Amino acid sequence: MAVAMMQTPLQLRLQPRPPAVVAARHRRRLQSGFPPPNPRRGGGWCRCCANADAGKAQAKARRAYPYDEIEPRWQRHWEEHRTFRTPDIGHGLDTSKPKCYILDMFPYPSGAGLHVGHPLGYTATDILSRFKRMQGFNVLHPMGWDAFGLPAEQYAIETGTHPKITTERNINRFRSQLKSLGFSYDWDREISTTEPTYYKWTQWIFLQLLKRGLAYQAEVPVNWCPALGTVLANEEVIDGVSERGGHPVIRKPMRQWMLRITSYADRLLEDLDELDWPESIKEMQRNWIGRSEGAELEFSAVDKEGHDLGANLLVYTTRPDTIFGATYVVLAPEHSLLSSLISEEQRVHVEEYIELTARKSELERTDLQKEKTGVFSGSYAKNPATGEIVPIWVADYVLGSYGTGAIMAVPAHDSRDHEFALKYKLPIIKVVSPLNGNCDSEEAYADDGIMINSSSSSSGLNIDGMLSKDAALKVTEWVEANGFGKKKVNYKLRDWLFARQRYWGEPFPVIYRDDTNEMLPLQENQLPLTLPELDDFTPTGTGEPPLTKATDWVKTVEPLSGKPARRETSTMPQWAGSCWYYLRFMDPQNASMLVDKAKESYWGPVDIYVGGAEHSVLHLLYARFWHKVLYDIGVVSTKEPFKCLINQGLILGEVTKVGDHYVLKDDANIRLNARAYKMSKSRGNVINPDDVVSEYGADSLRLYEMFMGPLRDSKTWSTGGIEGVHRFLGRTWRLVVGTPLPDGSYGVGTTVTDEEPTLDQLRVLHKCIARVTEEIQETRFNTAISAMMEFVNAAYKWDTQPKSVIESFILLLSPFAPHMAEELWFRLGNSRSLAHEQFPEGKSEYLKESKLVLPVQINGKTRGTILVDKECSEDDAFQIAASDEKLSKYLTGKGIRKRIYVPGRILNVIPR
C-alpha cells in the first residue's frame, strides 16, 4: 500500500479548525479567566486568537503526530479490504479454531449522534475483539441499530418528518461516527430492527409464542393521558403527569397483548446462578422476579354487626405465623370485590380515593419513603384464626397486580402496616418476640423469633412458644385442613404488556374476522407483514392507535374463507426487536430461517456482552425469556443468551468550581447540585466525539476513555487528561519514526535497528507483554496503558531500539491505538495489516528478576542498599558496596574485622 505524502506543519496551520472546535476552545478560554473579545482589535480574542503566532504554535504543539493523515488512510484500508469481516461457516471460516462472540448492546440512533460517553463500552469491546483475533480466535464483533420505538415517533410528530427518514439519517450519522473511531466491526453483518427482512423474524417469534399460549390478550390497566389522547409507556409518566406537556395521566383498563413471562419465572431465577454476571445485576433480577413462599388465606367479609356479606377475601402473606397479629385487611383500589364491599356512608370517599390512585404509577405507589394513604371501606372481615372482626381498608400501597390484591395487615411486624396503623390509629398487637428478647417498642419487628399472644380456644389453633418458621408451617397446615386457604408460591414478576398504541413499531401478524371478532394468526409464508406508509401518524385522541388511519391496510380478508377481516392496529414495543438481535448477527442474510442451526451452535452463546447497567433488568430479562422459548422449540442450543456480562460506568460531564458551587465547564450559568453529572443533551454538558477526534485524533480519544479509570466505574471527563495521552502517543510516534525534519515533516523510515536486543531490553519488553496481556484479559485497560507508558519511558533511555522489540510493542499497542499501530507496522516494512498478527507472548525466562536490592549494614546499622545479581558472591557484594558513593565513606581507609553475608538478604560489614 502506498503511503500518502504527509503535510507539513505550515500546510496544516493554513487549514482552518472546524467552527465547533474553535467555539469550544473559546468557551474554555473564557472560563479559565482569559479576557473577552477586545473591540479595539476588531473583536478578536485577545489571548486566544489575536496573536496569530501564539495560535499557530499552540496548534503545532497540540498535534503531537500526524493523526489527521494516518487515521483516514487506515480506515479506508480496513473498509476496502474488509479486514474485520468474519466469514460464514462453509465459506472460509475455520471452525477448528476457538470462537469469541463479543457484543455491544446495540444503540438507538438518535438525531443528536454520539457523545463521548457512548464510545466507552464500544472501545472496550473493540480492544477485546482485536486482542482475541490476534490470539487466534474466530471473532464475531457486529453492530446494528435498535431503531423502532417512541423517540423517533415523537420527533416525527414534532417535525412532520416520517420516522423512516429520520431513522435512516440518524443511522448514517451513527455509522459514520463509529467508523471514524476505528472500531473493528464486521459491517457486512449490520442489521436494523426496522427492516422488514429483520422484523419478519420478530413476527415469526411472536407466532411461536402465540401457538404455545405464551401470547394472549387481556384487559389490563394502562397509562392513559386524556389531554394527549394516547396511552403512554411507564417511562413517559413522571409524578402522575405526562413527560410531554405535563398533563394528568390516569390508569384505566384496556385490552392489550400480553406475554406470559411468568411461566418462565423459576427458570429465569434458577439459571442466573450459571452466569458470569456482576452479582449486583443478578440480585436485581432476583428481586424483580421476586419469588416468595407463603400462604393464601380466606377472610370472610361481614358488616359492622358481623353479618356475612357473602364474599370471601383471599389474602396472600409470606408470614402466616403472624395471623394472630392481623388487625385489619387492606384491599388494592382496583380490587374486583371492592365495589360490592363499600358502605353507602363511605362510597363518596372511597370513589374519590380510587380516582386519585388512578393518577399514580405503580412505582409511586410502592415507594417506601412516601406517606401512606388510605380510606375505610365501611365493611369488615373475620380473622379465621381468632374469629375477631377487623376493618377493611383501601390503600394504594397494595397493588392489584401482586398476589391477590389484598393483604392481612400486621402492623407490629411490617413497617408499611405499622406506619399506616399509626396514622389511622389502628390496633397494633405483637405476636413475635426476638430470640434475645430485645425489641424497639416504637418500631415494627419484621424478623423471625418466638411466637407470643398466638392462641385461640375457639379456633383450636395454638402456636405460642413456637419458632416463627415452625409456626408458619403449622398455620398453613391448619388453614388447609379447615378449608381456609393453602400454601402458595408467588412472584412480583408480572406478565409482559406487549402492545403500544403507536405507529413506529412491528405490526402484529394477526387479523380479526369482522363477523365473529375471532383472532386468527397469519401463516408463516405471509410474513413479513410490513408497516404501511402513513402521512399522519399523530395520536388519534380516542385511544385508538394511529394505524387505524391506514384504512386500506387495516381492511383485509381471511385467506381461507375470503370473509372480511381487519388487522391489529397496535404495534409491538421497542423491546421486541432487541430481544433476539444477537442471534441474527450470526446469520443476517438468511431468508428461510431465523438463524442456521450450525451457525448458532458454533457462535452461541454471546461470550462477552457489554452495556449500561440501566438495561440490566428489563432488556436482559426479556431477552432471556425469549431465548428460553427458542431453546424449548429447538431454535437455539443454549439455555442462556449471554455468558459474560460487563457493565461499563458512565462518563460524567466536565465541571468546574466557581466560589462554593460546581458549574458546567462549558456553561457557567448552569449550577450543579453534585460535583459529577451524567452527560445528556438536556443538561447541556455533552461533548461531541467528532470535535475531540478533530483536535486530538481517534486513537487519543480511545486511549483516554480507557485510561480514565476502571471500565466498570463512572469517570468525569477532563480535557486536560486527553492532552496527556495524546502526548504519550506523540512520544511513541517519535520513538519509532524519529524527530521531525527541519520543515516539520517526518521521514519515511524509522529509527529502529536490526541489532539483537540486550537482555535488559528483552526483560523490559516481556514484563510489558505479560502485564498488558493479563490486564486486557481482566478488562483493566487503564493499567495496561500504564504498563505501555512505562515501556516507552524505558525505551527512550536505550542507545538503540531493536526492531524485534519495537515490533512486539506495536502489536501490544494495536488494540488500543490501532491507526497509529498500523502505520508504524507498515513503516517497519510489513506489507499487510497487523489485525491478524499473533499477539506477543511473555516468555518466562525474561520475567524472572535477575537483580535484587541488598541492604548493607555497617556495624549492624543499615547505612544503604546496593543492586546486585541474585547469584552475587560475598566478595562481589563487598566490592559493589565499597565503590558505592554513600557507603564508601564508612569503609575507605579502614580495615575490615569481619563480614557477615546472607545471600539475597543482607551484607553486614564490621570495620576495625
Distance CA 810, CA 315 (A): 68
Backbone phi, then psi, for 137, in 5-degree steps? -85, 150
Give the end of a domain, one of 464, 491, 518: 491
**Contact assessment for residue 100 and residue 132, using Cβ atoms and an 8 Å cutoff:** yes
Question: Are 433 and 444 within one domain?
Answer: yes
Length of the chain: 912
| Any domain includes 183 | yes
Alpha-carbon separation of residue 573 from 34, 193, 498, 520 (angstroms): 51, 12, 6, 21
Q: What is the largest CA-CA distance in the chain?
A: 119
Based on the fold, state whether residues 863 and 841 are members of the same structural domain: no
| Beta strands at 406-409 and 896-902: parallel, antiparallel or unpaired | unpaired
Smallest CA-to-CA distance from 500 within 488, 511, 508, 489 is with 508
Question: Does residue 673 lie within any of the structural domains?
Answer: no
Question: Do 603 and 739 share a structural domain?
Answer: no
293: alpha, beta or left, given left = phi > 0 and alpha = psi -120 to 50? beta
- Using the CB atoms, write b or e for 25-38: b if 16+ within 10 Å: bbebbbbeeeeebe
Query: Is 12 a domain residue?
Result: no
Considering the domain architecture, whether residues 508 and 448 belong to the same structural domain is answered as no
Residue 719 lies in a domain: yes
Question: Is residue 456 domain-shared with residue 562, that is, in the same domain?
Answer: no
- Which pLDDT score is estimated for 51? 44
Do 481 and 600 reside in the same domain of the chain? no
In a domain, 578, yes or no: yes
The per-residue pLDDT for 368 is 67
829 and 873 share one domain:
no
Write down the pTM of the prediction. 0.82
CB count within 10 Å of CB 902 equals 10
Q: Which domain holds residue 834?
A: 687-848
Which pLDDT value is given to residue 342?
95
Q: Is residue 22 part of a domain?
A: no
**Domain membership flag for residue 736:** yes
Tens-digit pLDDT profile for residues 122-176: 999 999 999 999 999 999 999 999 999 888 888 888 888 999 999 999 999 999 9
Q: Is there a single domain that holds both residue 741 and residue 811?
A: yes
Residue 809 is assigned to a structural domain of this protein? yes
Shared domain for 537 and 575, answered yes or no, is: yes
Name the residue with cell 512505562: 790
Report CA-CA distances (Å) from 817 to 519, 698, 704, 812.
57, 8, 10, 9
Q: Which residues neighbour 288 within 8 Å (Cβ) at sequence distance 6 or greater?
A: 492, 493, 617, 621
Which of 264, 69, 103 has its CA nearest to residue 189?
103
Closest residue by Cα to residue 214 from 498, 538, 634, 23: 498
Cα distance between residue 124 and residue 702, in whole Å: 9
Q: What is the CATH number of the domain that holds 747?
A: 1.10.730.10
**CATH code of residue 475:** 3.90.740.10
Q: Are residues 820 and 903 in the same domain?
A: no
Q: Which residues pair with 899 in a beta bridge?
A: 909
For the chain, the domain total comes to 4
Same domain? 707 vs 823 = yes
Residue 209 sits in a domain whose CATH number is 3.40.50.620
Say what the pLDDT of residue 115 is.
Answer: 76
Q: Across the 912 residues of the chain, what is the mean pLDDT of every consecutive 10-residue run?
A: 34 42 50 42 42 45 82 97 95 95 93 83 97 98 94 85 93 95 98 98 98 95 80 74 82 90 97 95 93 94 91 95 97 94 95 88 73 94 95 94 91 95 96 83 90 94 96 96 93 90 95 95 97 89 89 94 95 94 98 97 98 84 97 98 93 65 54 48 64 94 94 83 94 94 82 94 96 96 97 96 97 98 96 96 85 91 90 90 89 88 92 86
Does 456 lie in the same domain as 339?
Answer: yes
Domain C-terminal end among 828, 848, 868:
848
Neighbours of 348 (CB within 10 A): 10
